[in-house]
Structure 1
Amino acid sequence: MFTISIDQFEGPLDLMLYLIKDKKLDLFDLDILVLIEQYQLYLEQMHEQRFEIATEYISEFAGLIEYKSKKLIPTIKAEFEEELPEEPVDIVARLLAYEQAKKASEYLKTQYEQRMQLLSKTPTTFTGQYDTIKEQTPQDLYKAFEKVMARLRLMNPYEMKTTNRELSISDRINELRAIISHREHVFSLTDLLNESEDIHTLIVTFLAILDMIRLRELDFTTTEDVVYLQRRAYG
């Protein structure tokens, strides 16, 4: 009997990670048939409890069942087995990438909270057509970042790459200064974050932006859906 409802998960991969940990399965030596069975039992229980199950869970389940049927049906020709998709390898790769992304989000939250007090005391002087749309807070910046991370986790798990590159916040600030100097005076935070090539760069970019706001090199404001950054005028 599962005690966690489906609306507490971010998507199929989040659910699968929960099932792997709950059933003490080995992610690096994954028994895909056991995982499929647990996934099916969970969806059936949620259906019986009349929870609404999002399409993405059903689509993932259909792919798992297709693999299971090919795995279990006896074949006459040995060549058929060679054509069997590498589903366990595929799922493990996606789960590892997703798990890495979740850990990155947790690390970011810790770093963000450490900067929160300093940033919240920094006045903003955002000017232009956006300046009276909404009172801006540091939390709006974090929400915008979380949306980028969530989209990558759910839609593009393979794009959440890891890297051995060492990039400090101060180095990233210098890089951003050069990048921003060629931008329009006002630009989207999300667009800037989306240019990151890997998880590490994504996190460091966000923390660098927080520090640039604290140093009063950037101002920010928000609409309902977008956080805008603005280069400060000097002189």
Structure 2
Amino acid sequence: MPFAMVHGQAFTQLPKDLYIPPDALEVFLEAFEGPLDLLLYLIRRQNLDILEINVADITHQYVKYVEMMEAMHFELAAEYLVMAAMLAEIKSRMLLPRSSEEEEEEEDPRAQLIRRLQEYERFKTAAEDIDEMPRMGREIHQATAQAPDRNATRPDPEVDMKEMLLALSEVLRRADMFESHHVEREKLSTRERMAQVLDRLSGNHFMPFVSLFSVEEGRLGVVVTFLAVMELIKEQLVEIVQSESFGSIHVKARTQ
């Protein structure tokens, strides 16, 4: 199996003139926030109780880790070296022979280190618990929405003459359905029809524009009624409204 393809050519062996710098590849297995974090990791990995740590083994593992980081050209913080020196001191003090009186008077060399580890473990556990809590912007996202303006008013559209002509054409189309072949001359007066329209609008309420027409009267009656309404509008005796574009047209007697 080729380990690389270059310009379509398979390579199964490394070129003899290939140079790989020593620092071309670096692998970091663990990342610690400080020397106490490293010590706590070493203790937990062996399932040991902090109160019963084996300083010799922990010191050996700690120093081995520090030497590994130095070999990888990793810049160590001074606190790692200080902790290494402290572990070496505790290890040497525990290896020195002591009398029974000195053991009773002198404090365990591990006591201070154990207290620091216990305190660090408490804060680390608390930080992990806090980090697992739901956080705004990470697990919880606050939604915001603005309600529409319910007080907005919509002005009534102006009634265009084209709208009235369209309504008239509809009435005329319906009037054609009642045409008769019996020819009889009728005397229709625009003034009389104006009075009839005003009489129908005397209730001070809106009426549909098309309801003013009587299709049984034929085209002549429709035209006379339409002219009567136009004259009433011209004389400002009636007013017309339309609630929306292309909507129904209504007529109402104008109040003085």
Output the TM-score relative to the length of structure 2: 0.39
Structure with the larger helix share: 1
- Of the two, which has the highest radius of gyration? 2
Pick 1 or 2: higher relative contact order, CA cutoff 8 A, min separation 6: 1
